[in-house]
Each structure stands twice: as C-alpha cells, then as structure tokens.
Structure 1
C-alpha cells in the first residue's frame, strides 16, 4: 500500500459508535473531562502499568496533559478519544491512536478504563471500534477512516488482561521487546513489553 498524501486527517476526528459506546474527542475546556482524565491517569492500576513522560499529580497537571492530547489530535499526530456510555454520556475511559506516522502508515494504540467501568468489556469494545476506524481507508465506509496500514499495541510483560484484549481484537503477539518501556512511576529504569499488531489486511473481528 503506497500513500502519497501525508497531510493530517481533518479535525475533529469522527465520533465512533457501537456496542453501547460512543467514542468522542476529549474536550480540554470541560471540567468534567478534566476530572475524568485526572481520575484515569492517577488510578493505581493505570500507574502500575503506565509511565507517561508527564506524570499526572493534580488537576492542573491533568488539564495540561489533556490539552496536549487535544492539541496532538488537532495536529493529526494522534487521535485521543473519550470512551463514553452511549445512553448516558458518562465517561468510561480513554483510547488513543498515538504516534501517527503518515509516511509509514503506522500508529500505536493505548487505552485505560475508569475503575467503576471495569468488568464490562469496555476496553475490548473500544479497541475493536478504534482499530476498525484506524485501518479503514477514507471513503470506504460510513465514517471516514484513518487509512493506516499497521496498528501496534504494546503493554508491560505481566499485564495479562491487556494481552487477552489485544488478541481478542485481532492484534497478534509479535514478540517481547527487552527494556523497551519505563518501570512504574520511574524514568530511570526499564522493563520488557509485549508487542502486538494488526494490519489493514488482517480479518476484521466481530465481538
């Protein structure tokens, strides 16, 4: 697949719907969104498995990192989605298509779910929706796709639930990368990760 148009996609990114979920862009000017972002990024389970470059410690740092995510979405280098309940609009978590490389037609996907929404297959359904959109060519469906060739997903070794979600959504396990991510809440120590990926040519997944 050859891509000659490397301009970023139009903003805002489209809402995605399915399995009782609505995925919509985050709003950095919404106090409710900032609060949800803060709770997600400071949750002990998130902090156990993820160490972002800027660690969220309070509402101000949460607002700053959310603004970064919204800015990256506007610039076309990422697509940050708030995962919500389609019926109530309640925020359930986050999923993002990150490090979008238009030359290589690749990106990396990551997600988290708020504590009260766990156990409902939220991450699995959000990942399936997002992967379908990211790997669909623009103009080939009801929602303009991102048109990527390859979508990667990685997680710390030992994060078995993420492994199961990835494989259930068609992301094949491709191997272990040694010392490829930071240890929990540290920027001076490293741990191994599992790499999964899905190609546009791979079969779609029905959950």
Structure 2
C-alpha cells in the first residue's frame, strides 16, 4: 500500500551503524513500523516499567505517536531510532535521544527491546552506538538516563555503557499503569569526556 514517508529523524541526521546494528528512522506512514511500535508498547515488560503520557490503544495511536516524534525531530528536540540487525534489517527495538537542549549540551536517552531480541546485548550495543552519535553529531556534553527503581536490567545496561549511577530521584516517574501516582527512579549519566566502554559481541 502506498503511503507518505514520515521519518522520525530530521533529514540531516545520519543513521549510525556499528556493533552489528543499524539505527534507522521509524516511518510513521508504514503499517509495519506502526504495528511494531504498538507491539513494543503493549509488551508486558515494557508496561511494567514505563507509563507513557498517552495510552497506546491501537494502530491509530501508534501512528500518531510516531508522527509526534517526527515533528519533534524536525524541530531538533529529539531523534528516534529503530534498532535493526545490521545484517538482515530485522527490527529489534527502539532507542531515542530526547529532550535535546543544545545550549546546555544535554539530552536524555531511553530504549526498549522486543521480547524475541532480548538476551543478545541489543540494548547495550544500541546505547553505545546512540551515545557516540549524540556526542559526535550533536556536540552534547551530558547524556542522562533514568529508569524506575527495581529495573535491574536497565540499570545493568546503563552501567555497561558507562552511565554512572548518580542517585535516586524521588517520585520521578509514573507508577505502573497510573498517571496519578509516582515512583522513584535511578539517575545515570555519561559525559562526553568519559571513556567509551567496549561493546559486547553481537549474538
């Protein structure tokens, strides 16, 4: 089916490759991309640790979410990457660089991996690749990463990628499936001047 291509990356943004991965643009006009975006957000493990501002209720909501990210990319406020296998192009998950503040040289990163791609170091490799891109291409000095207290897997990814634990932020995230209650979160950060850790082997 023909559709208008709406990329979640600004036209000038390069698509990073390395560590066995290709970080490419999501296409808000693609049914396949919208279905994958929806599947990722409906995954029970994603929902356990993340409560988006707007519920992801179906394909129309998924398309609008991707269109919103495309608008933010056009305004230079974020970059949303589809994590794909560097060899065959299979979609593995998502990683985003958001809340970009160029005057302060600061941004926040977030990611999720589809269930069938877990256990292969995908999040770690993607975060290393996206971090290198953000420092080099955007000229950022600091990248922050927050995750809900108790999310051990995300904590380990952050630490493997050189994002040091800086403390606990009180009431910094919505509780699971609630927008009227809050939970604590860990804050991790990496500076452009920090050493880049070695990437795990692609599996």
Native 8 Å contact 1:11 1:73 kept in 2: no
Native 8 Å contact 2:19 2:125 kept in 1: yes
For residue 182 of structure 2, the aligned residue among 180, 190, 197 is 190
1:165 maps to what in 2?
Answer: 157
Query: In structure 1, how many angstroms separate the alpha carbons of the residues matched to 2:138 and 2:147?
Result: 23
Aligned: 1:177 with 2:165: no
1:26/1:188 Cα in 2 relative to 1: closer, same or farther (>3 Å)? Answer: same
> The residue matched to 2:193 in structure 1 has which SS?
coil
Offset at residue 90 of structure 1 (A): 1.2
Query: In structure 2, how many angstroms separate the alpha carbons of the residues matched to 1:162 and 1:53?
Result: 20
Structural mapping, 1:122-137, within 5 Å: 122-136=122-136
Native 8 Å contact 1:111 1:123 kept in 2: yes
Native 8 Å contact 2:10 2:70 kept in 1: no
Query: In structure 2, how many angstroms separate the alpha carbons of the residues matched to 1:79 and 1:11?
Result: 11
Native 8 Å contact 1:47 1:184 kept in 2: yes
Structural mapping, 1:44-83, within 5 Å: 44-83=44-83
Cα deviation code 1:9-59 (max 9, x no counterpart) = 963421111121110111111111111101001111111000111120111
1:54/1:10 Cα in 2 relative to 1: closer, same or farther (>3 Å)? Answer: closer
> The residue matched to 2:124 in structure 1 has which SS?
helix
Query: In structure 2, how many angstroms separate the alpha carbons of the residues matched to 1:30 and 1:77?
Result: 22
Native 8 Å contact 2:163 2:189 kept in 1: yes
> The residue matched to 1:131 in structure 2 has which SS?
helix
**What count of residue pairs does the alignment treat as equivalent?**
191
Query: In structure 1, how many angstroms separate the alpha carbons of the residues matched to 2:123 and 2:10?
Result: 25
Structure 2: 5+ residue stretches without partners: 1-8
For residue 202 of structure 1, the aligned residue among 173, 176, 194 is 194
Could you list the structure 1 runs, at least 4 aligned residues long, displaced by more than 2 angstroms after superposition. Answer: 9-12
Native 8 Å contact 1:154 1:193 kept in 2: yes
1:203/1:84 Cα in 2 relative to 1: closer, same or farther (>3 Å)? Answer: same
> The residue matched to 1:23 in structure 2 has which SS?
strand
1:139 maps to what in 2?
Answer: none
Offset at residue 86 of structure 1 (A): 1.4
Structure 1: 5+ residue stretches without partners: 1-8, 137-144
Name the Cα RMSD after superposition: 1.2
